[in-house]
Amino acid sequence: MIKRKRFGQHFLNSNSIAKSIVSEAKITKNDVVFELGTGLGILTPLLCDKANKVISVDVDKQLIENAKSLFTNIDNLILKLGDGFQIMDSFSIFVSNLPYSKSREAIEWLAKSSFSHGVIMVQKEFAEKLLAKSSKKRKAISVIADHAFEIKIISNVDKNNFSPPPKVDSMILQIVKKNTMKKDLVQIINQIFSYRRKTVKNILKQFNKESVIDKRIDDLSGDEIINLANQILEK
């Protein structure tokens, strides 16, 4: 058993949960599945059974080499070593037990990517950020996720289903793509939240724009924040 935390990864060791993730991904023989984080390969063969093709990427060379040895007989699997966020292959379904340290980056990358839907497992606290409705609890990533995806909770996952066990529980989410966001829009939303104590009028001043709106970010709906970001991006 490989146990390492240097990439912020905790490996799922429950076959029943792995099967549930693959089932919820609603994969057909027409689909190309992108798996971010090959890990110990608990999901990989299950995905290959359902999909036309599976592209599985891991940043850890040893894990990729292990997977190549394990899955020599699977002909619809492409294993790649490297940063999954730099992979340019097209895909229809995304599946991942996301490394905790990469969860935010993954959601922003997925918001900018074109695909149909996916199933992700994330730290429970991060899932709650993605689903936050209260303006006080809402973060930039909450607005980005809400604009880009329909998100549904599938189930909670106890920390003892991982090796090594993390300190917190996880949550499985289904994400369905609503809007593909441009890189500039994602960046501006993050910038807006860095000024969340300022009024809209004063935020727009930072970008040489004018407004008479005295509301603060916490007084705006998600759609209003998206509109504000688009207003800033207008030439």
pLDDT tens-digit series, residues 43-71: 999 999 999 999 999 999 999 999 999 99
Please tell me the predicted confidence (pLDDT) of residue 10: 84
Please tell me the predicted confidence (pLDDT) of residue 139: 95
Average pLDDT over residues 162-171: 93
Confidence of residue 135 (pLDDT cuts 50, 70, 90): confident
Confidence of residue 213 (pLDDT cuts 50, 70, 90): confident
Domains located in the chain, CATH noted:
11-180 (3.40.50.150), 185-233 (no CATH)
CB neighbour class for 209 (10 Å; exposed up to 12, middle 13-18, buried from 19): middle
CA distance 167 to 138: 23
Which residues, in sequence order, are bridge partners of residue 153?
A: 173
User: Is residue 36 helix, strand or coil?
Assistant: strand
Q: Is the peptide bond before 164 cis (omega within 30 degrees of 0)?
A: yes
